[in-house]
Structure 1
Amino acid sequence: MTTPVNTATDHDTDNCPVVVVGAGAWGTALACAFSRNTSTVLWSRDPAQLEQMVQTRINARYLPQTRLPDALMLEADLHRALAHVTERPNQPASRAGLVILGTPMAGLPAITEKILADLQATGGRILGLIWTCKGLDAQSAKLPHEIMQTELEAADKTVPIGALSGPSFAKEVAQGLPVALTIASENEALCEATIQTLHSPHVRVYQSTDVLGVSVGGALKNIMAIACGISDGLELGDNARAALLTRGLAEMRRFGVALGAQASTFAGLTGLGDLVLTATGDLSRNRQLGLAIGQGQSPQVLLNQGITAEGARCVGAVLERARTLGVNLPISEAVHAVLFEGLSAQDCVTQLMTRDPARDI
């Protein structure tokens, strides 16, 4: 596949190179943002999609209204894409960079395995692997960092890892509108490289060491967004939405702390911030699913149509882990009952409102 030549000359040479793996909406948006600061490659597993982007400089499938920056390079071969950020012993000019995983939860184990295999084969070194997906794996009930740790152990490989998260819609990031994100990792060098490479007048990046808390916030906010969408679809009013947001935040924090996360994380961008955006923003797929259900559409029909709502995919796994911890998640339980157990949207509201009184914590 012929790729556009990166002709940009104004990138900061201190910024490390980046490859974004996955040309969905969020992967493409992040590639656009990174390419404004540093040498960036976007990899797509679909050669036809990539060829179309090469010809038109538009990702028609996911971001049809956004033109890709001229500096952004496109690649269909994963090995060649990774070579852009891999420092190799026999190539003195090579430079270690960041691999940003723009794949959904379902694709995280497989793509991580392929990347680690490539690094093993070449003896190369990268600055780190950063995932952007949010949720729990439906089969294993693992969070993203647990999946990454499993893959690293299987490959007998040591690579710094981290999560890039926060309240963000792909469309707005691709357009260069202001956004604040969090890079969460226990590796200081990875955090510093991410901040230096992504931070700009349009993108503000904060640092956290609470990878677990960031992952939990990213997973449960999608479930709460479905609940808020159902409430708005039923036209229950602003008071009901405010109650769901507040109690949803408490549910997120309760679950996260039980797993070992820091309570303070849930008051930040990846907790409250992401919850508010996803539960109230019109671009939110999880909110849109809830709205459609509240307006009378069948949950099973909607899910069978292939609607991508991570909250629906992970709510069962969340409840599975919550039960092993002895943690009560009433909103998550109600959403699961509506999606998969035949509970009507109105009965869902009744179920939540008639629960026994509890402390507001």
Structure 2
Amino acid sequence: MAKITILGSGGFGLSLAVMCVSGGHDVTVWSKFRDEIDTIKRSGELRSKLPGVMIPKEVKLTTDISDVKGSDIVILGIPTRFCREVCEEAKPFVSRESIIVNTAKGLEPESLKLMSEVTDESFPDNRTAILSGPSHAEEIGRGIPTTVVVASEDREVSYYVQNALSNQTFRVYVNDDVVGCEIGGSLKNIIALAAGVCDGLGLGDNTKAALMTRGLTEIARIGIAMGADRNTFAGLTGLGDLIVTCTSMHSRNRRAGILIGQGVAPDEAVRRIGTVEGYECTKNAYELSKRLGIELPITEQLYGILFGGISPKDSISTLMSRPKKNETEDGFLGRR
């Protein structure tokens, strides 16, 4: 049994709490929002974040971040934008022996750093890892079989997290490619948002298949430029996460994209859906691609839709009218 503290009472954090308690662990969930903690204590669930999933009474609930002391594993379930802020708030209370596991998928605004870089900077004395893969909170919380990946620069850490979190419904694989796993998990939100736009426009399966396939090429292209292993993008944190996020109505990115395709203004669509990581990640990835000198046609067009007032229909026409190319000119998944 491990002592696990989950920072963040969002859907994913709560679903992991349910899963970890079922595995016999000592679990605490921290939130800065007293109303969320009080709602769970009163009703046994948090409908706004994880409807229909009851939070076991064995899960300890707190708004006191000092309760993170003495944890074997600290899981960060914080949106990308606020990850560093919460890390710095928790830092004085986190034991040096605690393993920090980040689940946020995105790039830090302005710095464009990976979340693993953020956690390493915030907790220089701790060993860290990331947890990523095709994993809707709604399904983890209901015990639906799910497979994810843990990645760390320290394989011993990966094995520890794998053994601690794996159970009959939650299977954890190990991957040494931290950068690839992070890029795949982050940039797939961009492609899922674009896939939703296609759905909102009423386009067909042909269009979505093309978008997902070429989107995966873009994800791999930028990942490889940052030192990732191309094989990672054919795995759970690449292709797997892309499939689940582009095709499911659990996906907030896809649902926001559908609204945009139907004519709702992008900022209003995000307001209606809530946290849509792909919205900000599109801007960050666009800026990163310019910094790296990498062409990302789908990302560029989505950036234009979200922040430049370009109509989705015009973007589709632009993509379809690009210069003719050989599909394998850069090789499969970016190989030259």
Aligned residue pairs: how many? 327
TM-score (norm 1): 0.87
- Superposition deviation, residue 307 in structure 1: 3.4
Deviation per CA, 1:288-340, whole angstroms, max 9, x where unpaired?
Answer: 11111112222233245573211111111111111121110000001000011
- Superposition deviation, residue 60 in structure 1: 3.0
Q: Distance in 1 between matches of 2:32 and 2:97?
A: 21
Aligned residue in 2 for 1:140: 111
- Whether the 8 Å contact between 1:131 and 1:164 is mirrored in structure 2 is yes
Matched residue of 1:34: which SS? helix
Q: Distance in 1 between matches of 2:258 and 2:273?
A: 16
TM-score (norm 2): 0.93
- Superposition deviation, residue 158 in structure 1: 1.4
Unmatched 5+ stretches in structure 1: 1-14, 86-96
Does 2:259 correspond to 1:292?
A: yes
Q: Distance in 2 between matches of 1:138 and 1:201?
A: 37
Aligned residue in 1 for 2:69: 83
Q: Superposition RMSD on alpha carbons, in Å?
A: 1.4
Moved more, 46-55 or 192-201: 46-55
Does 2:76 correspond to 1:109?
A: no
Structure 1 residue identity aligned to 2:102: W
Aligned residue in 1 for 2:316: 349
- Whether the 8 Å contact between 2:106 and 2:114 is mirrored in structure 1 is yes
Q: Distance in 2 between matches of 1:52 and 1:310?
A: 25
Q: Tell me: CA distance 1:69–1:303, structure 2 relative to 1, closer, same or farther (3 Å).
A: closer
Aligned residue in 2 for 1:3: none
User: What is the 5 A alignment of 1:1-361?
Assistant: 15-37=1-23, 38-80=25-67, 82-85=68-71, 97-119=72-94, 124-152=95-123, 157-305=124-272, 307-361=274-328
Q: Distance in 2 between matches of 1:204 and 1:320?
A: 35
Unmatched 5+ stretches in structure 2: 329-336
Matched residue of 2:51: which SS? strand
Q: Distance in 2 between matches of 1:44 and 1:299?
A: 28
Q: Distance in 1 between matches of 2:156 and 2:58?
A: 26
Matched residue of 1:40: which SS? strand
Q: Distance in 1 between matches of 2:2 and 2:264?
A: 48
Q: Distance in 1 between matches of 2:54 and 2:120?
A: 36
Identity of matched residues, %: 36
- Superposition deviation, residue 148 in structure 1: 1.9
Moved more, 265-274 or 143-152: 143-152
Matched residue of 2:61: which SS? strand
- Whether the 8 Å contact between 2:102 and 2:129 is mirrored in structure 1 is yes
Q: Distance in 2 between matches of 1:127 and 1:47?
A: 25
Q: Distance in 1 between matches of 2:114 and 2:87?
A: 14
Q: Which runs of 4+ in 1 moved over 3 A?
A: 303-307
Q: Which has the larger radius of gyration?
A: 1
Aligned residue in 1 for 2:334: none
- Superposition deviation, residue 32 in structure 1: 0.8
Matched residue of 1:71: which SS? coil
Q: Tell me: CA distance 1:55–1:297, structure 2 relative to 1, closer, same or farther (3 Å).
A: closer
Moved more, 107-116 or 253-262: 107-116
